[in-house]
Structure 1
Amino acid sequence: MSRFFSSFISRLLPWVVLVHALLFIIFWLTNSLFYASTNDYLADMLGWRLDYVSLLLWISAFIGVWSFTRFILNRLGKTHKLAVLSSWIYGFIALLYILFFYGSFNLLFSESPVQFVRLGQLTGYFRMILDAVLILGIALLVTFSIRNAMQKGKLADGQRNWRPLIMVLLVFGVLWSLPLVFPPDSVLRGRLPDKPLVIAHRGASMLAPENTLASAHLAVGMGTYGLETDIQISHDGALFLLHDEAFDRTTDIASVFPGREKEPAANFDLAEISQLNAGKWFLEQDPFHAVRQGFITSEQIKEYQVQAVPVLADWLDIVRTRHAVFIFDLKAPPEDHPYADSFFDLSFNQIHQAGIDPQVWFLVDEEQLQILRNLAPEMIPAFGADYQSPPAAAGLITQGYQLVNVEYGVRRLWMQQYREAGLWVNVYTVDEPWQFSRLWLLGVDSITTSNAGVMADIDQPIFSLPYSLYALLWFVVGLLGLGLIVGLIYSPPNPRPVSLP
């Protein structure tokens, strides 16, 4: 039993841990824009703010290098006096890491199920690389198996000439043809759709404090099509902008009103809210490393240091003067709030009186939809769809909706159905260039993004090819595979050394 355990730790376990460490690192390196929300979640859960994701990446890199080193040393037969003790320590830490790996992803996918969908989308978009590696790897594996069988004499003499080759070529041909029938999501068939319009999520929130006037001005200066924000109401009936239920994450409330950090924002009156600073946190925490990487100028730093929590009227002035589209979430106050029953009416009236009705994408339920149709027919009624259970396009058209706002996890068939029915499709929150490119190829009308500057500057879908060029490259992959198969099966075996008498 001890021999089996020792063999398991020295040979198999390092490879298992190395693969898990690489998967963890690859996931987060391709999902770096999810760092901030993950760190915020862990800070709320653990009560201590830290760059947890970066710390876990360094730990994973250390464990991966440790595992690879142990495997190499074992292959070379290198041992030392403390080999047994170090094996037990490594085995314990390795098993803890594997438990952490599955536990962390289980927590991540339960809290944000769309991340699991994103993995499939990422794989589908970059499948061109994966397909080539997979088909060549399988072909090589089968080829080496047949070659070994031929060299050991397990195949009859009549079989050595053509049957092994036909067998491998059939397998290779079937596998090779599948990507031509079902190409990767990055392959364009037909005309390239128009580039999706860019809506700035809480303004240019990766380069400026979210939901501030600085963020809004920066976003419209980048040439974005519109602005997205979140509307709440104060205890004395003033409409202001804030995403979270409380002020603790994005203001200095801990120093201005100590002890009230977790209190609902709707409990504060406007005079109290106006005392809060909504910009310093962005400079201090640097959630997207914009300050560290030099993306923020000295003038912007001075501007951010004096940002206040904006009222809705100031944001509407920017929308009106810059002719931007305006989409927003209404964050209803608690039921016992003095303006709980009139929150929608107050919000609607202020937006309607701003004189920007054609620019407004209003997320409304069926009852609120009737108000829009009667009092503000130029506003665009929008339906907020759940990507896991989106409604049929025909029903939305019948009710009078003109736009569907849905998370990027929605299946392509639903997006196609909406667009064919004449509904505008806006997808959120799209912060990665490859995801933006994927949705561009699908013909999405617009996207909401925190990474507004990068998305606005993209001129062509990244890593995308027309089908004709993809088929040509895939034909080259096929020729390469055929050359490897034929060459390996029929190459002469290595001569055995002759022992002299």
Structure 2
Amino acid sequence: MKSDKSFLWRYRFWYTVFWIFFVNILIFSLIILLVRPLWSDINYFVSEFTNLKFQWLMLLLIVSIFLTGYGLFLIIRLSPKRITKNLNKIALFPRIFLIPVLIIWDFMLFLLISIGGDEIGIVRTGLEYISPIIFFFLILIMTFSSQKIIFNIIKIWEEIKEQERWKFTFNKDLLIIAGILMIILFGFILPFIFIPVNVIQGDIPPKPKLMAHRGASHLAPENTLIAGQMAAEIGAIGWEVDVSISYDGIFFLMHDSLLKRTTNVEDIFPERINDDATMFNITDLRLLDAGSWFSDDDPYETIADEFVDLQTAENFRGEKIPTLDEVLNLTRDYNLYIDIDSGKPPKEHPFYNQYDELLINQLYDSGLNEKIITRLSSNLTKNMTKISSSQDIASLLEEEVDLLNTIHTLSNDQFQEYQDANITVMVWTVDTVQRFSQVWFLGVDFVKTNALHLLIPLETPVWTINSQGYNLIWTISIILSLIGATLMYILRNRKNLN
């Protein structure tokens, strides 16, 4: 008896561990796939930490898929139909290996979420986009499991009927069955509770206007004149640029505080590779090559995928860091909007205190007026387009801002509230046609993107369906599921009788 109990305990423990391992790694793999737009940034972060350039997330995905398959293999091997009282058939390796791997993978998931920051919200939006597929497989699973539930319900009911009314005692199996039925019922109504935004009742809103994030930054080196020119020629209405100030007081474009990611500073000034970009004077900055890194690294695989031809990529070599004067002139020539993302230099910089004033004066002198989108505020910015990142509707209305600039992963309800309050919304940074389709349905007005080559050609969202058709499809699916479960029960019962 004691041996049987020990066996049962060990069996349940390891079977539970295998299931936890399988589900955990499966979820991790799905998250890796859903954060595909962030792969480049995360790979760069890990490469900086390890000092080794590599497609880290691709490697992690491959290993995770293998581990998911291994977990499924262990579950099948230890399934109730196959198990014997010889648990030694489970090799020592998985019993030692699984729990440490599970801990490591969960730690990596924590790091992934931390590195992704607010952008990790694309996991939620990605799940919403594929939710009809998830619901479909969920209904299939419930269809095949329901016939077993029906069999057990009838069996328990027959046992209850055989008992005398006054001798009836509570049956814990009945409670379990009732709980499972509630779960199945909830699964059936899920499609009617979590309705994807692609399901619409009226007309499709107008297509959001596209702003090129750091220029056409997946097609050309970011924050360069060629990136701005390509954005205009492709069809963007404007571009967002990151404005820094040199040590001698000249504004230039650069996103990172360091120059090593997007220039050849380690070749020209190897002793200054870790110096802040704003600590260089403009003459030194203009010596740097801000284009070859794109040609060499193909960071977004647009050269490999032939969105950028090899000759064009070669022409990026030698591209210079542009001054703000050059950028404003290009903006005027192409009649673009320009979103100024300003970043103050370190406090020890000689122009730290004057940064805002100098920048406002230069923007004002450009005469671009409402074509300039800025967060800065003074008497000189009154004719410019005022933008705010505050998500509070009352504050936005009180400040009388022209645009709300926010991350694209806000909830659907929040976007609806902005639309109801007639607040013009610009979101950043949308790089997939799937998410672009979603914010299109949400009525967003402007979208910042790195992936102009994917979003400009879209004439309609990727997929849509009206609410009546959506409800009809799921109603029919549930009815067919119940019919299928009943038929499977009848066939199983007939087989048992035979």
TM-score (norm 1): 0.85
- Cα gap change, 1:8 to 1:492, in 2 (>3 Å): closer
Q: Which amino acid is 1:338 matched to?
A: P
Structure 1 match to 2:417: 417
Q: Could you report, residue by residue, the CA deviation over 1:342-371 in whole angstroms, capped at 9, with x for unpaired residues?
A: 21122222222222112111123xxx2xx1
- Cα gap change, 1:153 to 1:419, in 2 (>3 Å): closer
- Does the CA-based 8 Å contact 1:139-1:172 persist in structure 2? no
Structure 2 match to 1:29: 33
1:378 and 2:383 are equivalent in the alignment: yes
Structure 2 match to 1:353: 365
Q: Which amino acid is 2:416 matched to?
A: Q
Q: 1:7: how far off?
A: 4.3
- Does the CA-based 8 Å contact 1:151-1:493 persist in structure 2? no
Measured in 1, the distance between the counterparts of 2:418 and 2:496 equals: 68
Q: Which amino acid is 1:301 matched to?
A: A
Q: Equivalent residues in 2 for 1:257-336 (5 A)?
A: 257-336=269-348
Measured in 1, the distance between the counterparts of 2:115 and 2:184 equals: 41
Structure 1 match to 2:473: 473
Q: Equivalent residues in 2 for 1:206-225 (5 A)?
A: 206-225=218-237
Measured in 1, the distance between the counterparts of 2:183 and 2:349 equals: 68
Structure 2 match to 1:187: 199
Measured in 1, the distance between the counterparts of 2:305 and 2:333 equals: 32
- Cα gap change, 1:137 to 1:497, in 2 (>3 Å): closer
Structure 2 match to 1:109: 113
1:49 to 53, 56, 60: 53
Q: Could you report, residue by residue, the CA deviation over 1:469-494 in whole angstroms, capped at 9, with x for unpaired residues?
A: 21221232123123113323444624
Q: 1:30: how far off?
A: 2.5
Q: Equivalent residues in 2 for 1:74-473 (5 A)?
A: 87-138=91-142, 140-150=144-154, 154-155=158-159, 176-177=188-189, 179-180=191-192, 183-364=195-376, 368=377, 371=378, 374-385=379-390, 390-391=391-392, 393-473=393-473
- Does the CA-based 8 Å contact 1:382-1:402 persist in structure 2? yes
Query: Relative to structure 2, which stretch is displaced further, 136-145 or 232-241?
Result: 136-145
Q: SS in structure 1 opposite 2:205?
A: coil
Q: 1:10: how far off?
A: 6.8
Q: SS in structure 1 opposite 2:272?
A: coil
- Does the CA-based 8 Å contact 1:33-1:288 persist in structure 2? no
Structure 1 match to 2:174: none
- Does the CA-based 8 Å contact 2:34-2:123 persist in structure 1? no
Measured in 1, the distance between the counterparts of 2:258 and 2:127 equals: 37
- Does the CA-based 8 Å contact 1:234-1:266 persist in structure 2? yes
Q: Which amino acid is 1:128 matched to?
A: P
Measured in 2, the distance between the counterparts of 1:377 and 1:153 equals: 77
Structure 2 residue runs without a partner (length 5+): 163-177
Q: 1:440: how far off?
A: 0.9
Q: Could you report, residue by residue, the CA deviation over 1:210-236 in whole angstroms, capped at 9, with x for unpaired residues?
A: 111222122112111210110000001
Query: Relative to structure 2, which stretch is displaced further, 15-24 or 451-460?
Result: 15-24
Q: SS in structure 2 opposite 1:104?
A: helix
Q: Could you report, residue by residue, the CA deviation over 1:183-231 in whole angstroms, capped at 9, with x for unpaired residues?
A: 2222112221111111111111122211112221221121112101100
Measured in 1, the distance between the counterparts of 2:285 and 2:276 equals: 12
Query: Relative to structure 2, which stretch is displaced further, 305-314 or 414-423?
Result: 414-423
Q: Could you report, residue by residue, the CA deviation over 1:38-78 in whole angstroms, capped at 9, with x for unpaired residues?
A: 11222233333322112212222332333344455566979
- Does the CA-based 8 Å contact 1:219-1:453 persist in structure 2? no
CA RMSD of aligned residues (A): 3.2
Number of aligned positions between the proteins: 477
- Cα gap change, 1:86 to 1:346, in 2 (>3 Å): farther
Q: SS in structure 1 opposite 2:218?
A: coil
